[in-house]
Every structure is written in C-alpha cells, then in structure tokens.
Amino acid sequence: MTPTPSRDALHAELSHILDDNRLSALFQPIAALPEQQAYGFEGLIRGPSTSALHSPINLFRAAEDCQLLPELDFACRRAIIRAFVAEKLPGKLFLNVNPVCLTQPNYRPGATLELLLEAGLAPQRVIIELTETQPVANYELLHEAVRHYREMGFRIALDDLGEGFSSLRLWSELQPEFVKIDKYFIQGLASDAQKRQFVRSIQHIAVTTGTRVIAEGIESTQELEVIRQIGIRLGQGYHLGRPQAHPVLLPPPSASALSTPAGRDGNAKTAGSLLVSVPNVSPRDSNATIYELFSRNGALHALPVVDRERPLGILRRHEVLEHFARPYSRELHGLRPCTMLMDPAPLLVEQTVSLQELSLLVSSGEHHYLSDGFILTDQGRYLGMGTGRDLMRAITELQIEAARYANPLTGLPGNVPIQQRIQELLDLQRDFAVVYADLNHFKPYNDLYGYARGDDVLQLSAELLRAHFAGEHDFVGHIGGDDFVLILLGALWQERCEAMLADFDQRVLRHFDPAHRLAGGYMAPDRKGELHWHSLVSLALGAVEVRGGAYENHHEVASAASAAKHQAKHHEGSRLFVERRDPLRQDLLARQSENRRVAA
C-alpha cells in the first residue's frame, strides 16, 4: 500500500507544479442541440501524469488542505486560456472559478482579464463558471466580484445546479446567464418521472428569468431526446464528446439526431406549432391604455407585457375590466404603469417543447393556463402566445391519429405508424433493431379453443411486449393477426428479447387445458382439415440490425425482418434469430452472381 504523503510533502509537490506550470488542459464540448454543433468548450485541468495529483479531485483537495486554492485556481485559468487559444477552438470558453476564491482578501479582479489580453482572447467569448467545493460565506463580496466580471464583458454560469451547498441561492443572488443542471438529475432521466419533473421545473424557472440551461452528464440517446423534448437547447456529456486535449469541433455522429422529428413536419408536435401572434404591451404603458385596448377588442383575453424582447408577465382581460369597474379606479390608478395589474408569473414555454410536455405543464399548473394561455419563447425571447384551446385540439388530433392507425384488439400502432417510425430512423441514419414477432402454431389453437381464447393469447402477447419494451424510445407495433413488430434503440435489446421469450413461455401455459400442458401439445386439424400433432403456442422473433445507410427505405427493412422471422420459425419453441449478414454485402454478392450467370 502506498503511504499517504504528509501535508508538507503535498505542499512542496503542489508548489513545484504551480511554479513550473505543469498543469495541462482538456476541453469538453458543450453542444448547441438544435444546431447540432459545438456552442463552446468547458476547460478542465489535470496535474502531471506521473504525480499523485494528476486527478483534479486529488489536486484540488490538496490545494484546500495546503491553503493554496486561490493560487491553483488562478494557475488553472492561465493554463486553460493559453491552451484554448493555442487550439484555435471556436465558440465560448467555459472557465471554472471557485466562488470561494472570489471572496478571498488577496483576490485581484483584473487578473483574468490580464490573462485574456496576453493570450489575445476577447472576454465576450468567456463564460465564468462558478463551481462550489465549499459553502460560500460572504455573498456580498461574491456579488461584487461577479459585478466586476460582468463590467469587463464576461458572462456567468452556475455549475452543478441541485448539488452544491447553496446553488439555488446563488442563482437568485447572482442571476447568471447560464445554469448547468447536475448530472445526477440527467442520468436515468428517461425512466425517472421525478427527475423529469425537476428538470422541467428548472427549465421553466430559467425561461422565466432569462437564463439558459445546460444539461450535464448526457450519456445516452434516450437522455438526449428527453432533454430536447423538455426544451433545453444546450447539452454536455460523454454521449456528445469526452474531454480531450485536442477536441473535435463538432459532436460525434451519434449526436447527429439531436432533434428527432416527430413527423414529416418537424414542428408539428412542438409548442411552436401553436404560436399565435398577439399584440404585446410595454411595462411603461399605463393601466388606462390597457383598459382601452381590452374595451375596444372583445376577442382579446390576455396581453403579454414585454420589455426588450423579454416577457415580464401577462395582463388578463377580466382582471383589468373588473379593477376599472370599481369606484374611482380610473382616477386613482389610470396613469400608473400596467405592471401594477400584471401577473408576474405566467407560464413561459420554449417553442421546442413537445406537445406532450406542454400538456403536462398546463395540466399540473394553475387552472387559468387553459383559459388564458401561455407565452411562447425562443431562448427566452418573446415570440407570441398559445392557447389552452389550441393545445387541447392538437392533443386530441394526435390521439385520433394514433387511434386511426391502431390495432383495435391490442390498441398498438399498426402498419402506417410502424412504417413511418422506421423511415424516420432511416432518414436520420440512426442505428436501430427491428424485431418481427410471430406466434407459432396459433391457427390450430384458434381452431381448437375458439377465437375468444385466441384473442386472449394475442392480448397476452401485446401485454408482454409492452411490459418488456417500455423504454422511452422503444416502439411496439401490431401489424395484424399474430404478427407484431418491435423497433428498438440501445445496446441491450437482445437480452430483453430473450427475457420476454422466457416470460411468454411461462405465462402462455395458463391458456391451455391441463392435459395439453402435460402432453406439450394436442391433436387438431391442419389447414386441409387433417388431424395432426401441434406443439403448444410459442413465439418466434426474427431480428435485423439496421446500420446507418444500409437500407434505403422501410420496405427493405420489412423484407429483411420478415426473412429473419422465417428463420426463427424453422425451429420448435420460442426463439430469437438475429440476421447478422451485411445487406450491402449480400446485394453486392447477388449482383456479382447474376453478372456471372448472364456472362456464362
């Protein structure tokens, strides 16, 4: 076991690292999700690779123990700024600063600006990212330090929202331009309703306060798509890019589908599709002016109050008219600014939020959101309004459309939505798997036990498919009869298929008479009416893995999945068959064979 270095030894080693400028910088991309490009890079630090202080955790812990935290903090800034300029990276530099260092007596406000001038980097490209490792003791000094940064052209980001000692208070006190949601709330977001509600609430507060949210710790496609649906436009995490000394300038190919279209019209299922142009008023307009606007226009139910493109609140028709109906109201309050009657906390919604997310926000909020509507924004800037009536109509249309193409027995999507989903993923060049599910020996079961018992088995199949493939981005469809289709993203789909088959074999037994269960089958007429032995109903799964660019359309995918299903049905009992041959290679070999045959 390696002995723990003494404090004196740590102090000496850390001092040498700082004196000799032996810190190295890494950069992790922060992606602009709708634009599918790097918005900026967070600068990270490492100690010498041969030192026990290589890890940033060890490095900063040693600095705290040795009372060298301000010196280390400044040295990190210097190393990161120089490396950022040397790499000629585009976009913003997110520069970590410990807020405790900004409240130290020896803190020098202009030091970071001097480093930037020396390196030739404009302060407008730098975001000061405040990262807590200790509780903040002096908010007044911190507030003053942040004010100095802003006066020099910097903007402020608050890191690890939800984890730090006082992050919500810091948000309120410092009013940062950016907040980064701690990765704890992002990881597993797709399957955790409480985390999704927390992130929704943070996004709502951010839109209200004009703050931009960055989701940290994105490690899967599922997390990325939920983030997009909630309306968050900036993301960071291993799924988008790892910290590197020489980072790539764009997110990796796996992030090319940062905004999966909901349909052929990418805006058709977002809040932006409900946008209505509504006149807005200034916070300096008088109550009398607002009263006249409502009096002249009986169809006007609400007026947004907007200042410099930022929505401040909403004025409601019935409240304004009711106020002016009181004696002497016009004389006492007519000339006062309309903010007196304004609701300062309306529902603000980013236009990229999905209709389903918006429906949750409206239904879980105050009752007047349905009647008075909500304000739509683009990165916090006012766009217009949406009404609860239009939202309910859009949701109803989605439900009707889903029902129109659903199988009446199981309620699962039918052929049209199956084809649309496959084609969408092909257009995006996503990697996914299509699994064709078909019941073995189902017709003789239907003939012997009757159609009502047959429908029970079909419903059991649908129930198990739903239960085992209930992920955020799993798709379960019912072509008709005893044919089902799964469209799956993610790496563990085969394991889930095997688990589902085992569950099916166990659960389907209760649908047979005891004698047939004991015998493992029964005599029943075949399609020609002749008696034959038939095994118990089992489930065949034929799967094909679809790689980006391997298939041109959903017809080709369906044909490959059907062929895989037939391979699975060649064996008795429930079985998964995965077609592993490359379709492009198969097509090439087939054409070569045909050319040789013609030449011969």
Give CA–CA dist 171/181, Å, rounded.
12
CATH 3.20.20.450 residue ranges of the chain are 24-258
When the candidates are 3.10.580.10, 3.30.450.80, 3.30.1300.10, 3.90.79.10, the CATH number that belongs to 273-395 is: 3.10.580.10
Q: What is the pLDDT of residues 259-317, one digit of tens each?
A: 333 333 334 578 888 888 888 999 999 999 999 999 988 888 889 999 988 899 999 99
pLDDT, position 370: 67
At which residue do the structure tokens 């509780």 appear?
A: 135
Give CA–CA dist 585/497, Å, rounded.
27
Q: Which residues pair with 486 in a beta bridge?
A: 435, 476
Residues in the chain where the model's pLDDT stays below 50: 1, 165, 251-267, 584-585, 588-592
Q: Which residues pair with 306 in a beta bridge?
A: 311
pLDDT, position 107: 65
CATH 3.10.580.10 residue ranges of the chain are 273-395
**Backbone phi and psi for residue 440, each to the nearest 5 degrees, phi listed first:** -90, 140
* Cβ 474 vs Cβ 465: under 8 Å: no
* Cβ 139 vs Cβ 103: under 8 Å: no
Q: Tell the CATH topology of 24-258.
A: TIM Barrel (3.20.20)
Q: Tell the CATH topology of 409-588.
A: Alpha-Beta Plaits (3.30.70)
Range 170-177 contact pairs with CB under 8 angstroms and sequence separation of 24 or more:
170/99, 170/130, 170/132, 170/136, 171/211, 173/139, 173/142, 173/143, 174/130, 174/142, 174/143, 174/146, 175/209, 175/211, 176/130, 176/211, 177/127, 177/211, 177/212
At which residue do the structure tokens 């047959």 appear?
A: 454
CATH 3.30.70.270 residue ranges of the chain are 409-588
* Predicted TM-score of the model (pTM): 0.56
pLDDT, position 507: 95
Sign of CA dihedral 562, 565, 569, 571: positive
pLDDT, position 597: 54
DSSP 8-state symbol, 407 = -
Q: Within the chain, how many helices (H) and strands (E) appear? A: 21, 20
pLDDT, position 161: 74
Closest by Cα among 460, 454, 458, 447 to 522: 447
List strand residue ranges (DSSP E) for 387-454, in order: 432-440
DSSP 8-state symbol, 4 = P
Buried b (16+ CB within 10 A) or exposed e, 550-568: bbeebebbbebbbebbeeb
List, in order, residues 6 or more apart from 138 with CB less than 8 Å away.
Answer: 103
pLDDT, position 253: 40
pLDDT, position 402: 67
**97: Cα within 13 Å, side-chain hemisphere:** 30
C-alpha dist (Å) from residue 447 to 441, 443, 507 = 11, 6, 21
Q: What is the pLDDT of residues 141-159, one digit of tens each?
A: 778 878 888 888 889 998 8
pLDDT, position 27: 95
Closest by Cα among 231, 210, 88 to 156: 210
Closest by Cα among 182, 242, 253 to 217: 182
Q: Could you tell me where the DSSP H helices lie in 469-513? A: 493-507
DSSP 8-state symbol, 245 = S
List, in order, residues 6 or more apart from 134 with CB less than 8 Å away.
Answer: 64, 98, 100, 165
CA angle 68, 74, 80 (to 5 degrees): 130
Q: What type of residue is 460?
A: L
pLDDT, position 520: 94
